[in-house]
Structure 1
Amino acid sequence: MTRPYTGGCACGAIRYSIAGEPLFANHCQCRDCQRESGTGHGSYATFARAGVTVTGEAKRWDMVGDSGNVKTRAFCAECGLPVYMTFATRPDIFTIRAASLDEPARYKPQAVTYAARGHDWDHLDQALTKFETMPPG
């Protein structure tokens, strides 16, 4: 068994430990992720929810994605760092911000989602598979 993925917010008020490997890892260039990250994309790793333990209280806000489905973004009320996302239609998965990992080098992106909204100045690995929007679940 591999060692868990661990991480949390910048101040340590929120911590997580995740057993298992990511189901999907991506850079997302949708406008919501651009706004939240303050740059051209957000970087995420998605895991099976069953292997996730979270300590600390996150502040949450719901938003409606392009799919029409609600996604809940969770961040630390103390330091403001975005930490994870959950999805109303997919309670079985848990998505973390790659930058929140204790060992960010373990993050290995597989694809770019919402490439149709990417900017010329946001240079991502050209070898990654690109999806114009979100690939089918």
Structure 2
Amino acid sequence: MPTRLASCSCGQLTARVAGAPLRVSICHCLACQRRTGSPFAQQARFRRADVTVSGSASVYTLAGDSGAQARFHFCPRCGATVYYEADAFPGLLSIPVGAFADPGFPAPTVSVYEERMHGWVVPPAGAEHIP
């Protein structure tokens, strides 16, 4: 079973994951664009039981377009988000793919909020498109 380590920029907050992600997606919503400073966010979803978190985190709660909330856990020292929990997906954690710093990480298979996607962005071939 593969093990991966996600970390904040300074290494104080980590999430060790056992096993493959349940889903890897990109999100084009405006909240993700603002949160990441990028035209989209890429995240991998895992069972909470397969993730071991170490270090201290600050939490920012955000309500999405549907009204459901997500709690973003980020390093209080460097500010990097290492994982988040969405009310819509109990028992699961999402981890920003960049926190793994692994260019070989699996490509996204789902692309969401495409109505807010920047015109030059092209999701991977074969990705499921969810408006």
TM-score (ref. length: structure 2):
0.91
1:87 corresponds to 2:86: yes
2:111 is aligned with 1:109: no
Q: Specify the alignment match of 2:33 in structure 1.
A: 34
Correspondence 1:15 to 2:9: no
Deviation at 1:51, TM superposition (A): 0.8
Deviation sequence 1:28-59 (CA, Å, 0-9, x none): 00111011111210000000111110000111
Distance in 2 of aligned mates of 1:69 and 1:123: 27
Q: Deviations over 1:6-28 (max 9, x none)?
A: 11101000011111211111010
1:113 positional shift: 0.7
Asked if the contact 1:7–1:100 (Cα under 8 Å) also holds between the matched residues in 2, the reply is yes
CA gap 1:90/1:125 in 2 versus in 1, 3 angstroms: closer
1:84-132 Cα shifts (integer Å, max 9, x gaps) = 1102343300000000004242232111111111111334334422110
CA distance in 1, matches of 2:45, 2:60: 19
Aligned length: 131
* Aligned residue type for 2:128: T
Tell me, yes or no, if the aligned pair for 2:109 and 2:126 is still in contact at 8 Å: no
Question: What is the percent sequence identity of the aligned residues?
Answer: 31
Contact 1:98/1:107 (8 A) holds in 2: no
- Runs of 4+ more than 6 Å apart: none
In structure 1, the residue matched to 2:42 is 43
Contact 1:45 1:107 in 2 (8 A): no
Structure 1 unaligned spans of 5+? 133-137
Q: When the two structures are superposed, what TM-score results if normalisation uses the length of structure 1?
A: 0.88
Give, in angstroms, the shift of residue 3 of structure 1.
1.8
The one-letter code of the counterpart of 2:72 is R
How many Å separate the matches in 1 of 2:29 and 2:8? 23
Task: Report the Cα distance in structure 1 between the residues aligned to 2:112 and 2:89, rounded to whole angstroms.
Answer: 18
Q: Gapped runs of 5+ residues in structure 2? A: none
